[in-house]
Chain A
């Protein structure tokens, strides 16, 4: 019993130390390198490292050199077995208004070890509430618009079934 207790304490210390000493900023730069291969760039004004998190302020997102939008705050939070990325006040370029909502108050992406093949997605904005998932196996995205507020401008890119309006694509 003593051995098991010791093992768990050791595991806890190991896990805590891993998170505590994790070079979060350097890992974020590595993520930037990976995104660059897919022609995505994030230009942030400042970076703040927390105990378990990393926060980017006033980020501009570019895809293939095109500025898609700005995000006031991006928060990365991880416990290793549970990771969450939260985007606050996402403003997309006006020219994308026919494809997506141009103002998103909050977008939350969550990956957990108990659902390793999917990233769940929740979003809130003028369009109401959106929930969905990104399947990492297929790969496939589905977003369900739970409310149909202010979706007229980008309805053209949505589909409809018995549950309501949804967006679906593969990548």
Chain B
């Protein structure tokens, strides 16, 4: 009988198939023993929105509700009793911080203090009226220069000669119970992330190897971050109700920071939880 295949060809084909089988078997064993059978799915945090904002300070959107105050019939006092600590003055809003009889108060345009009605403010003065008379109070300058006082723009500046549009540097103004952040400052940091880390250090806070939050590792003196009232060692708990316990949550806040009008920052300092209020204007 004539052979269809020469024996050595048959042997070679068998060898070839055996080799393929061995390699397949090796890969199968590798996959079975060491390789995962499924991929890793990212389970994103549901984008939670703050249930509420504790304060709504935006001047242009709604009027700030004020409690009717019982004004005393007659108020006595000297203008010298009012110490002007801080000014925030824009086209729409004038807010000043004053010290009066040992108490610090924040008043806005039209408010009264000791019978003196706040009419407006300049770069370093506040103008009051009382009984049709005008009074001016100059900004108190601390020896330690601890005040955070500035005007964000020169739109209201009395000098008509300065028509130049000044570059808004941005400041943080201390208004007593809250701090007013210039929006341009916020926009600057939103655009230049590197500048944030030159002024403030934020490190991971881990528990059992899992990220639990973020802790401030340093705050550069005289930087806007120092003026925000945060300190080294503070743990950032939440911003506007959003818990800051992941990079995603932190980045979510960072991404939307330009559209915020006010911000409530909850921090843990030592064992005490603190709430810091900011208005963005």
Q: Are B44 and A36 in contact (CB under 8 A)?
A: no
| Distance between Cα atoms of A99 and B28 in the complex (Å) | 43
Chain A residues whose CB sits within 8 angstroms of the CB of B247 once the complex forms: 63-66
Tell me which of B30-38, B92-100, B177-185, B267-275 binds A.
B30-38
Tell me which of A20-28, A118-126, A141-149 binds B.
A20-28
Q: Are A95 and B255 in contact (CB under 8 A)?
A: yes
| Distance between Cα atoms of A157 and B251 in the complex (Å) | 19
Chain A residues whose CB sits within 8 angstroms of the CB of B19 once the complex forms: 10, 13-14, 17
Q: Are A27 and B35 in contact (CB under 8 A)?
A: yes
B271 to chain A, nearest CB (A): 28
Q: Are B36 and A29 in contact (CB under 8 A)?
A: yes
Residue B16 interfacial (CB < 8 Å): yes
Chain A residue nearest to B251 (CB atoms) is: A66
B8 to chain A, nearest CB (A): 11
Q: Which residues of B23-81 are within 8 A (CB) of A?
A: 23-24, 27-28, 30-31, 34-42, 44-45
| Distance between Cα atoms of A78 and B251 in the complex (Å) | 36
| Distance between Cα atoms of A29 and B251 in the complex (Å) | 27
Chain A residues whose CB sits within 8 angstroms of the CB of B34 once the complex forms: 30
Q: Are A60 and B42 in contact (CB under 8 A)?
A: yes
Residue A152 interfacial (CB < 8 Å): no
Chain A residues whose CB sits within 8 angstroms of the CB of B35 once the complex forms: 23, 26-27, 29-30
Among B16, B24, B36, B192, point to the contact of A26 (Cβ < 8 A): B36
Chain B residues whose CB sits within 8 angstroms of the CB of A99 once the complex forms: 193
Q: Which residues of A32-72 are within 8 A (CB) of B?
A: 32-33, 36, 41, 43-44, 60, 62-67
Q: Known A26-B31, A29-B39, A60-B42; judge A95-B254 contact (CB<8 A).
A: yes
Q: Which residues of A54-105 are within 8 A (CB) of B?
A: 60, 62-67, 93, 95, 98-99
Which of A28, A29, A60, A62 has the largest count of B CB atoms less than 10 A from its CB? A29
Residue B246 interfacial (CB < 8 Å): yes
A153 to chain B, nearest CB (A): 9
Chain B's interface size range is: 20 to 34
Residue B217 interfacial (CB < 8 Å): no
Inter-chain CB contacts under 8 Å: number: 78
Residue A18 interfacial (CB < 8 Å): yes
Chain B residues whose CB sits within 8 angstroms of the CB of A14 once the complex forms: 19, 23
| Distance between Cα atoms of A64 and B44 in the complex (Å) | 11
Total interface residues on A, CB under 8 Å, equals 32
Q: Are A23 and B27 in contact (CB under 8 A)?
A: yes
Q: Known A13-B16, A95-B254; judge A21-B27 contact (CB<8 A).
A: yes
Residue B111 interfacial (CB < 8 Å): no
Chain A residues whose CB sits within 8 angstroms of the CB of B260 once the complex forms: none
Q: Are A18 and B23 in contact (CB under 8 A)?
A: yes
| Distance between Cα atoms of A93 and B38 in the complex (Å) | 27
Chain B residue nearest to A96 (CB atoms) is: B193
Among A22, A28, A30, point to the contact of B27 (Cβ < 8 A): A22
Q: Are A41 and B40 in contact (CB under 8 A)?
A: yes
A158 to chain B, nearest CB (A): 13
| Distance between Cα atoms of A17 and B248 in the complex (Å) | 43
Chain A residues whose CB sits within 8 angstroms of the CB of B40 once the complex forms: 29, 32-33, 36, 41
Residue B168 interfacial (CB < 8 Å): no
Residue B20 interfacial (CB < 8 Å): yes
Residues of B within 8 A of A (CB): 16, 19-20, 23-24, 27-28, 30-31, 34-42, 44-45, 191-194, 246-248, 251, 254-255
25 contacts between A and B (CB under 8 A): A10-B19, A13-B19, A14-B23, A21-B20, A23-B28, A23-B31, A23-B35, A29-B36, A29-B38, A29-B39, A32-B39, A32-B40, A41-B40, A41-B42, A43-B41, A44-B39, A63-B247, A65-B44, A65-B246, A65-B248, A65-B251, A66-B247, A93-B255, A95-B254, A98-B191
12 additional A-B residue pairs with CB within 8 Å, beyond A23-B27, A95-B255 = A17-B20, A29-B35, A32-B40, A36-B40, A43-B41, A43-B42, A63-B247, A64-B246, A65-B45, A67-B44, A95-B254, A156-B194
Residues of A within 8 A of B (CB): 10, 13-14, 17-18, 21-23, 26-30, 32-33, 36, 41, 43-44, 60, 62-67, 93, 95, 98-99, 156-157
